A and B are shown apart, each in its own frame.
Chain A
Amino acid sequence: MRARLESCLQSIDRVLLGKELQVRLALTCLLARGHLLLEDLPGMGKTTLSHALARVLGLGFQRIQFTADLLPGDILGTSVFDKESAQFVFHPGPIFCELILADEINRATPKSQSALLEAMEEGQVTIEGATRPLPSPFFVIATQNPVTQGGTFALPESQLDRFLMRLSLGYPARAAEKALLLAGSGRQRLPELEPVLDHAALAAIQAEIPRVRVSDALVDYVLRLVEATRSQPQFAWGLSPRGSLALLAAARAWAYLAGRDYVIPEDVQAVLPAVAGHRLRERADPAGQGGGTLVQWLLREVAAV
């Protein structure tokens, strides 16, 4: 099973050059049943990554382009009157798909944003009084441009919290970009990707991850991290219990990906920037972009053993 996961990673790496760490983290996020927020400038490969993940994992893929005039109905679907049956027939929206790419989520109005975020949290949608379950597995990969750009609605903290991880792809390394320029865009090679996993295999893996062992000593380390965010003066606020649960879940998936059946402190450290970065703010800059330096501080100062 793990060999298939490794080949998944290799396949994606062939499309998205030089981003092994981010790819691995994105896969970790999906294996831990979390949703992923990709934050970066346009054209950095966010869409390519989502496409590649969907193809390799054998998931249905839908893309919703968020714009300022997008309405909740455009996401969830609407009932349309059918003349033949003389009844309202529900036309499901793009959300009824296994992997959703919510592109440029911060361009839409808060009303539309929250329609998606509610679906993410509940795993079901309620439309016109009827509750409809979403497919399983259900992943959302949302992308956003940094909010300092014009014409955007920043996601509030409570909604950021719904994402297990926030990743930023960043510029490719020189060698990777050269290969990209020589071999053509990764998007063109997407159709070459073969599905490696199917629904059943993915479900089996996801069921195995909670069984990855977390020892007392490791929980102590997680607690030390969380307590530091709550007690140290440079943190505007601490991590919530949902945050610490997310940290542990991601660390389990990471350990599973690494082929271990127990979590070590390095696993926690590997996922900490992605899991905690968007949940923390500096006291000196509570409206800022989040806790890159705070996470570095945690990694450096909190006793790992």
Chain B
Amino acid sequence: MTTAKSGAALQPIPRVGLTWLLVAQLLVVLPHLGHLPLWIVGLWLGCAAWHIQIFRMRAPYPNGWIKAGLMLGTGFGVYLSRGGLIGLEAGVVLLIAAFILKLVEMRSRRDALVVIFLGFFALATAGLFEDGILAALYYLLPLAALLAALIGLQQSALAADPWATLRLAGSLLLQAAPLMLLLFLFFPRIEPLWSLPGPRERGVTGLSDSMTPGDIAELGQSGALAFRASFEGPLPERSRLYWRALTLEHFDGRRWSQVPEAAQVEPPLWEKRGAPLAYSIVMQPSNRPWLYSLDVAEGGPDDARLLADFRLQQRRPVTRPQLYRLTSWPDAQREPEGSVPALQRALQLPERGNPQSRAWAAELRRRHPEPEALVQALLGHFGREAFHYTLKPPRLGRDSVDEFLFATRRGFCEHFSSAMTFVLRAAGIPARVVTGYQGGEFNPAGNYLLVHQFDAHAWVEYWQPPRGWTTVDPTFQVAPERIERGLQQALGEEQGFLEEAPLSLARYRSIDWLNRLRLSWDNLNYGWQRWVLGYQGEQQMQVLRSWFGKADLRLLGLTAVAAVAATLLLVALWLFKPWRREGDAQQRLFQRFEKLLARHGLYRAPGEGPRAFAERAAQRLPDHAGAIRTFVELFEAQRYGGQQGAPGELGRALRQLRRALPWRSGEE
């Protein structure tokens, strides 16, 4: 509110400052448009027009009633459009609304300062929603405009060139860049004490924690990125790239889901065998806590652990792009002993339903008493019979496995894996469904693997001593090219790959230059995520450790503070160049004299001459009038009378005065 009537507070807003403030506001609101209700844009246009009219003296400032009405109306609007006033989304809308509404009652420089600071804050919140490399580059624009507004506020009302102000803001930003780099490198990333709610994902696709027929086929329509992976060694064969996300053990006749026990029991027993694979993954936000890994993984973030069903999970959901490093042993032996509860879970079947499949399983069991032979026979069945791999499987009813195995025979990976697991369980072999991603697209530009949502996959693992859990993929029998070359090739021409996403660049892989452009751009983004966004926590420590050896956080903090202080000192030295200041001994002594008297509340106005000041001081400090007059007369004689007295004489007079004067006026 602008009721404060102090002179400084009511300084008017200069024209240049106002211009840049309006530009900055537009630039700050723009990146928020994607998640703001439309009426906010109308509100901004209205408020900006109103303020311009106020500035041209064509409109009055709003009175209290109008302000209260606007405030209540906006709050109500936020409540209606965001279903509440709490949470990140509603909070950001409220912030932007406040940022906009403050414009109409902005009268003085102080108000404009509030608007500018709100703008900086609103800009920071935009980073919560979009932190890509283009967005980061864009944020420099509103930043420069806000700085220009800040500078414009301090300029005289006569300054008329907004570009000069912008240039100054730009050079300020440039000068801040080294400091920013330093802070980026050294400033410790402190985890927030409370969990910051991430933006609610709208329509972001990804694996869910259960699987019904048709779920993964739906994912196959999405060209969105799931994660990127870089291997330290050579890239393994495609057919070995089974990225596990979840293990589904409970079947209710239609839906496969996780069992809660898997998260609670002891970590599984496994033996490292064969050559390890080292790789790092940058995961896109999934809002789920599980991490993607190849079997069997070790490492990852500090709070990640391997659960009993071999999935990797961390405490918090992945709400931001997250980088983690893993080492996997693909040939490891998994639970060779087996644990009774785990095997019991892997044999669970609903009590009723799918009678045909159960009967068939019993028959298979009769024909192949050896479990391994049974598995091979089952796989062979999928390969031999007329099963069809398709993104658009027919809808299945209650006995989904029966209908698929004996009637429709058209399905996507979840149909095959679900049916196989069901039959194996019915035949008494412990088995479960694994969901995740398979394969990925190799990006030669950056030597890494791109895994999209359409690479989502489901497969089967069964347990037999002495090997423990073994992975099999029935889809491979039906559509080997899906595993060997990828979904687009497996679907062939007749089925539209990504036909619901005409704008997805991944759809146009056949156009060579476009494909290369897409991959290069992705490589750039990947670098940004890995080296800029992912530079925190463990990675930061690793880099600092490689530079400074043993990383001591306190030492690093001190180093950072010292480095910043040293930089500022250097800049200050460079700006003020104290060694070039001419030595005016008389003036310096006079300044010391002034400082001495300032302790007694005597301040010289800039236009006050030495003698007038001395007279004033002598009246105020009559006990020391003599010493004060002596000094000033000597000063005048030397400075204006041209008497070549040594500066020492003046200094002596000053010292005499200093000895005579008490330290503070109160001690007299």
Contact = CB atoms under 8 A, between A and B. Distances in A.
Interface in A257-302: 260-266, 269, 298-302
A299 B642 contact: no
Contact of B610 (A263, A265, A299, A302): A265
Contacts of A215: 639-642
Contacts of A266: 609, 611-612
A64 interface: no
B642 A301 contact: no
B636 A301 contact: no
B80 interface: no
B387 to A, nearest CB: 88
Nearest to B157: A233
Contact of B640 (A233, A263, A299, A301): A263
Among A265, A300, A304, A305, max chain B CB count under 10 A is at: A305
Interface in B591-625: 604-612
B156 interface: yes
B590 A305 contact: yes
Given A233-B156, A266-B612, A305-B587, A217 B640 contact: yes
A213 interface: yes
Contacts of A217: 586, 639-640
B642 A262 contact: yes
A213 B641 contact: yes
Contacts of A303: 606-607
A263 B642 CA distance: 10
Given A215-B642, A218-B640, A302 B609 contact: no
A213 B607 contact: no
Contacts of B587: 305
A300 B606 contact: yes
A215 B637 CA distance: 10
Contacts of A299: 607
A61 to B, nearest CB: 36
A265 B587 CA distance: 14
Given A233-B156, A233-B158, A304 B609 contact: yes
Contact of B641 (A261, A301, A304): A261
A299 B156 CA distance: 22
Nearest to A304: B609
Interface string A235-272: 00000000000000000000000001111111001000
A298 B607 contact: yes
Contacts of B607: 269, 298-304
Contacts of A298: 607
Contacts of B605: 300
Contacts of A218: 640
Contacts of A260: 641
Nearest to B612: A266
Nearest to B584: A217
Contacts, number: 57
Nearest to A300: B607
Given A213-B640, A217-B640, A218-B640, A304 B156 contact: no
A233 B155 CA distance: 14
A297 B641 CA distance: 27
Interface residues of B, number: 20
Nearest to A215: B640
Contacts of B609: 264-266, 269, 304-305
Contacts of B636: 262, 264
A264 B642 contact: no
Contacts of A261: 641
A100 to B, nearest CB: 35
B611 A264 contact: yes
B642 A213 contact: yes
A218 B637 CA distance: 12
Interface in B325-372: none
Contacts of A305: 587, 590, 604, 609-610
Contacts of A233: 156, 158
Nearest to A221: B609
Contacts of A300: 605-607
Contacts of B641: 213, 215, 260-262
Contacts of B642: 213, 215, 262
Nearest to B635: A305
Among A260, A262, A300, A301: residue with most chain B CB under 10 A:
A262
A262 B610 contact: no
A304 B608 contact: yes
Nearest to B590: A305
Contacts of A213: 640-642
A262 B640 contact: yes
A302 B639 contact: no
A284 to B, nearest CB: 13
A297 to B, nearest CB: 9
A217 B586 CA distance: 10
Interface in B624-647: 636-637, 639-642
A299 B611 CA distance: 14
A229 to B, nearest CB: 14
A213 B642 CA distance: 8
B581 to A, nearest CB: 16
A263 B158 CA distance: 37
A75 B637 CA distance: 47
Given A213-B640, A213-B642, A305-B590, A264 B156 contact: no
Contacts of B156: 233
A299 B605 CA distance: 10
Interface in B425-474: none
A262 B636 CA distance: 9
Contacts of B612: 266, 269
Interface string B38-60: 00000000000000000000000
A302 B640 contact: no
Residue from A233, A264, A298 with most neighbouring chain B CB atoms (10 Å)? A264
Contacts of A264: 609-611, 636, 640
A262 B606 CA distance: 22
A215 B156 CA distance: 35
A218 B635 CA distance: 13
A304 B639 contact: no
Contacts of A269: 607, 609, 612
**A265, A269, A302 — which one has the most chain B CB atoms within 10 A of its CB?**
A265
A301 B610 contact: no
A161 B414 CA distance: 101
Given A215-B640, A261-B641, A264-B640, A301 B158 contact: no
B606 A302 contact: yes
A260 B640 CA distance: 11
A262 B158 CA distance: 41
Most chain A beta-carbon neighbours within 10 Å: one of B604, B605, B607: B607
Nearest to B606: A303
A260 B610 CA distance: 16
Interface in B365-382: none
Interface in B158-191: 158
Task: Give the 6 A-B CB pairs with smallest separation, nearest first.
Answer: A265-B609, A262-B641, A266-B609, A304-B609, A300-B607, A303-B606
Given A264-B609, A264-B636, A301-B606, 5 more contacts: A217-B586, A263-B640, A265-B640, A266-B611, A301-B607
25 contacts: A215-B639, A215-B642, A217-B639, A233-B156, A260-B641, A261-B641, A262-B637, A262-B642, A263-B640, A264-B609, A264-B610, A264-B611, A265-B609, A265-B610, A265-B611, A266-B609, A269-B609, A298-B607, A301-B606, A302-B606, A303-B607, A304-B606, A304-B607, A304-B608, A305-B610
Interface of B: 156, 158, 586-587, 590, 604-612, 636-637, 639-642
